[in-house]
Amino acid sequence: MSVRYKISVKGRVQGVFFRASTRDKANELDLTGFVINEPNGSVYIEVQGDRKNELVAWVKAGGPPMGRVDEIQVEEAEELNFNEFRIQY
């Protein structure tokens, strides 16, 4: 069974182009899903595709240059029918 990852990221992840950088990295890795800012200051990502572990490694390394990741939680879930990777508002 293929899975998608539901990822919660805490740290300096808003106001540092985290969503745009995540979208660009996901597109580079040919992944689908979305990224969104959460009201509590975290970022939430859902991602699927063969190279999703590479995106998780990128996030764990801090994401974009101005970002700082203090905590990451990854949960597996059943794949959905995502057609692209996009920023949600």
The residues that are catalytic are: 19, 37
HSE value, Cβ hemisphere, 13 Å, CA-based, for 58: 19
Side chain identity, residue 3: V
41: left (phi > 0), else alpha (psi -120 to 50), else beta?
A: left
Contact between 52 and 1 under an 8 Å Cβ cutoff? The reply is no
Label residues 63-75 b or e (16+ Cβ within 10 Å = b): bbeebebeebebe
